[in-house]
Amino acid sequence: GALLALSKPPGLPILGRPGDLSLDVLLPALRRRLGLSAELHVVKAPAREYSGIVLLSTCYHTTKKLQQFFTNARQRGQYPATYRAITVGVPAEVEGEICTGLCWQQQGDRAMVRGCWRAGGTGDAPGNAEGCALQVVPVPAPGRRSLARKDVKLTLTRYQVLSTMRGCALLQLQPKTAFPEQLQVHLTLLLCPALGDHEHSSHVGRVLGVPFLLTPDTAPTRTQVLDEELLSQLGLSPRQLHHLPLHIHLQELLLP
């Protein structure tokens, strides 16, 4: 009917700056190729760094109805989106929930950016913070005032370990909330950053092989560090590591 599903590669943004390659720029060509009379609208899509399902619609009312369904489903305690992730490290428990506050924070400064994040499905950064060096940081015990002012958003992700091999794990992730970079931060709180996460993996340190959590202030962003055995399995050299994409994939969407 009105719906079309695509599989997006990692690194392709939904919306881009003028002149940049993005899904939005490609939609008119896709419409012509499929011979569709109506314009295509993005119903649901993973963040730029993620791969996986992009749900499109040729009907504006269908788009709005489904987007409201996803919002209502999370509010009812359902998990309409299911992701898969490969992690460096294996969680201590085979399943559980990660619940923490998240906020935007300027790198190298504790000043918070208030009320400017967009909670859409595309994982966009704050709308009025373009050009600023910002990062998403956890707030383990947010106060009522910060939550009321929306300085901090309380976030929750349910996870399950599906398989493990040689110090890595395949996880199923079901976020109940929507916040940019939520899944990456939650995986670091499990001490198991996603493979290819060059933004948050530095927040997990190791001493004698035992992982521990570092604060963002003490762990600057850098290319993910992998041991020689894993590099060999991936067929990568240390110089090629920065090309390794983020291994988080939107696998399934629940529709009414």
Both 41 and 155 in a single domain?
no
pLDDT of residue 215: 84
Quick one: how far is CA 202 from the chain centroid?
17
Q: Which two tokens stand for residue 245?
A: 């994409």
pLDDT of residue 118: 38
Mean pLDDT of 38-58: 95
pLDDT range class, residue 88, cuts 50, 70, 90: very high
pTM score: 0.87
Both 63 and 129 in a single domain?
no
Both 37 and 100 in a single domain?
no
pLDDT of residue 70: 93
pLDDT (tens digit, 9 = 90+) per residue, 192-249?
Answer: 999 999 999 999 988 888 898 998 778 888 899 998 999 999 999 988 999 999 999 9
Q: How many domains does the chain have?
A: 2
Both 237 and 165 in a single domain?
yes
Both 53 and 102 in a single domain?
no
- Residue that is last in its domain, among 78, 106, 134: 78
What CATH number has the domain bearing residue 69? Answer: 3.30.70
Backbone φ, ψ for residue 27 (5° rounding): -60, -40
Both 8 and 127 in a single domain?
no
* pLDDT above 60 (res 184): yes
Find the Cα–Cα–Cα–Cα dihedral 156, 11, 84, 184, rounded to 10°: -30
Give the DSSP H/E element, type plus range, for residue 68: helix 60-75
pLDDT of residue 91: 96
Mean pLDDT of 153-166: 96
Both 69 and 117 in a single domain?
no
Mean pLDDT of 60-77: 92
What secondary structure letter does DSSP report for 126?
A: P
Give the up-direction half-sphere exposure of residue 168: CA atoms within 13 A in the CB hemisphere.
18
Share of the chain above pLDDT 70, in %: 90
pLDDT of residue 28: 94
Answer yes or no: are the C-beta atoms of 98 and 149 closer than 8 Å.
no
* pLDDT above 50 (res 111): no
User: Under 8 Å CB-to-CB from 181, ≥6 apart: which residues?
Assistant: 47, 102, 123, 136, 199, 200
- Residue that is last in its domain, among 78, 102, 118: 78
Mean pLDDT of 76-103: 95
* Mean per-residue pLDDT of the chain: 88
Mean pLDDT of 124-152: 75
Name the residue type at position 247: H
Domain that residue 61 falls in: 3-78
pLDDT range class, residue 114, cuts 50, 70, 90: very low
Most confident of 88-92, 110-114, 132-136, 202-206: 88-92
* pLDDT above 90 (res 18): no
Both 249 and 143 in a single domain?
yes
Answer yes or no: are the C-beta atoms of 211 and 232 closer than 8 Å.
no
Answer yes or no: are the C-beta atoms of 214 and 203 closer than 8 Å.
yes
Burial 69-80 (b: 16+ CB within 10 A, else e): bbeebbeeeebb
Both 71 and 101 in a single domain?
no
Answer yes or no: are the C-beta atoms of 90 and 167 closer than 8 Å.
yes
* pLDDT above 50 (res 116): no
Both 55 and 168 in a single domain?
no
Both 165 and 42 in a single domain?
no
pLDDT of residue 132: 55
Both 9 and 70 in a single domain?
yes
- Residue that is last in its domain, among 78, 95, 123: 78
